């Protein structure tokens, strides 16, 4: 029987960033207490937590302390210590387990898992060394993208190769880990499906987001994604297929490419709430954070409903001042800041969600504001 966690009990969160903060705020609405394990004292999640354990994610005594004070434990991002999480799962209630973190920390394992789940991915090869890449690359051809198997996010740890003369540019990637090289596919859109599942197997997807990136960092998410209903159906089905294959509990964000013929390819996974799901805080009857808390606490899930088409725009360090200066101009914008002390360039500091009846007019309004031209 599923163990139910009740209001008044404590949810432990590994990781103190903005995702942990938004999880914590959602949990506090239902009366839960929050404990956070995070190396920095004044973290976004730490600011709203009841208990702060300031230590590294692989600190065994800190993980034991988190287990002692928590009735259930979750994590806000995947770059935590897998071995530590695995040990923690043996002494504490960690409904998500550690296996999905192991899968998503390594692109080689992730690709094999996706193929095993029966979904489509770009043609790819695995290379343990640069020399192996050189001998195998003809299998997928050019252009292609070489990515480190471990680490790397927001465009870091990858290199696009347009022709054989670019090959040497990928050499330094192998200093970090083995690599995956993916054939470059011509796609019309990038979308993400956030699928959430509880321990009883109850599963729902949030409305699909269409993602627009600038310099490899998510800039805007448009919901609903401007895709055919048949494509949306395939995307949801693929996300649910993956969720079932990995026995998901909690949240899984599945990033996908939409091809010209409406087919989809799976790009990558994130085993947690996702930047592209932030719109759900205002725009849905249940946010990705509320649903995540329900899933890990053994509560029944809610069928997501979109109140209105919406656009989420990320606020990076360079956008903080112009947005703050103009905040009074836009009464219909929902502005979120994450409580980070220093607004560094390209660092995610917050987001804005705009519910709208006219997506194109709102996209023009965002551009005309000049806030994101910085």
pLDDT in tens, 186-228: 999 999 999 999 999 999 999 999 999 999 899 999 999 999 9
The model carries a pTM of: 0.96
pLDDT in tens, 84-105: 999 999 999 999 999 999 999 9
Whether residue 154 is predicted with pLDDT greater than 60 in this model: the reply is no
Q: What is the CATH number of domain 10-94?
A: 3.40.50.20
d(CA 144, CA 69): 48
Where do the structural domains in the chain lie, given as residue ranges?
A: 10-94, 123-183, 187-373
Whether residue 152 is predicted with pLDDT greater than 80 in this model: the reply is no
H or E element, residue 336: strand 333-337
The pLDDT value recorded for residue 177 is 86
Fold (CATH) for 187-373: D-amino Acid Aminotransferase; Chain A, domain 1 (3.30.470)
For the segment 67-92, the average pLDDT, to the nearest whole number, is 95
pLDDT in tens, 223-253: 999 999 999 999 999 999 999 999 999 999 9
User: ∠ CA(232), CA(236), CA(239), 5° rounding?
Assistant: 140
Q: Of 310, 210, 196, 323, which is closest to residue 257 (Cα–Cα)?
A: 210
Taking the alpha carbons at both ends of the chain, their separation in whole angstroms is 53
CA distances from 39 to 45, 76, 152, 338 (A): 12, 14, 20, 17
Query: Percentage helix, strand, coil, to 5, in the chain?
Result: 35, 30, 35
Whether residue 1 is predicted with pLDDT greater than 80 in this model: the reply is no
Q: Which residues, in sequence order, are bridge partners of residue 266?
A: 121, 256
The pLDDT value recorded for residue 153 is 62
Q: Which CATH class is domain 123-183?
A: alpha beta
d(CA 215, CA 87): 38
Q: Which tokens sit at 290?
A: 């509320």
Share of the chain above pLDDT 70, in %: 98
């Amino acid at each position: 029987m599923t163990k139910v966690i009740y209001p008044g009990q404590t949810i432990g969160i590994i990781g103190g960033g903005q995702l942990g903060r938004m999880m914590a705020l959602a949990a506090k609405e239902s009366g839960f207490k929050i404990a956070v394990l995070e190396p920095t004292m004044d973290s976004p999640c730490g600011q709203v937590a009841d208990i702060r354990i300031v230590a590294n994610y692989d600190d065994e005594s800190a993980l034991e302390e988190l287990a002692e004070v928590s009735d259930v434990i979750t994590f806000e991002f995947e770059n935590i210590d897998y071995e530590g999480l695995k040990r923690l799962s043996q002494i504490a209630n960690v409904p998500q387990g550690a296996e999905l973190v192991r899968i998503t920390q390594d692109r080689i394992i992730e690709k094999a898992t996706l193929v095993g789940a029966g979904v489509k991915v770009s043609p790819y090869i695995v290379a343990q060394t640069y020399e192996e890449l050189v001998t195998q690359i003809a299998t997928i051809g050019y252009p292609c993208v070489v990515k480190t198997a471990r680490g790397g996010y927001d465009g870091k740890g990858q290199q696009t190769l347009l022709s054989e003369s670019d090959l040497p540019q990928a050499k330094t990637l192998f200093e970090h880990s083995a690599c995956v090289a993916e054939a470059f596919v011509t796609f019309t859109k990038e979308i993400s499906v956030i699928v959430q599942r509880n321990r009883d197997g109850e599963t729902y997807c949030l409305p699909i987001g269409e993602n627009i990136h600038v310099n490899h960092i998510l800039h805007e998410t448009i919901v609903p994604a401007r895709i055919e209903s048949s494509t949306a159906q395939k995307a949801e089905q693929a996300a649910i297929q993956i969720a079932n294959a990995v026995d998901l509990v909690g949240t899984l964000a599945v990033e996908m490419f939409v091809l010209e013929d409406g087919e989809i390819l799976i790009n990558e996974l994130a085993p947690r709430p996702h930047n592209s799901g932030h719109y759900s805080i205002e725009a849905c009857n249940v946010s990705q954070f509320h649903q995540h808390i329900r899933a890990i606490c053994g509560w029944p899930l809610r069928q997501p409903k979109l109140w209105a088409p919406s656009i989420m725009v990320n606020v990076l360090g360079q956008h903080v001042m112009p947005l703050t200066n103009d905040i009074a101009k836009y009464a219909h914008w929902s502005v979120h800041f994450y409580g980070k002390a220093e607004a560094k360039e390209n660092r995610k500091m917050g987001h804005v969600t705009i519910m709208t009846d006219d997506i194109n007019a709102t996209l023009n309004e965002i551009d005309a504001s000049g806030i994101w031209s910085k």
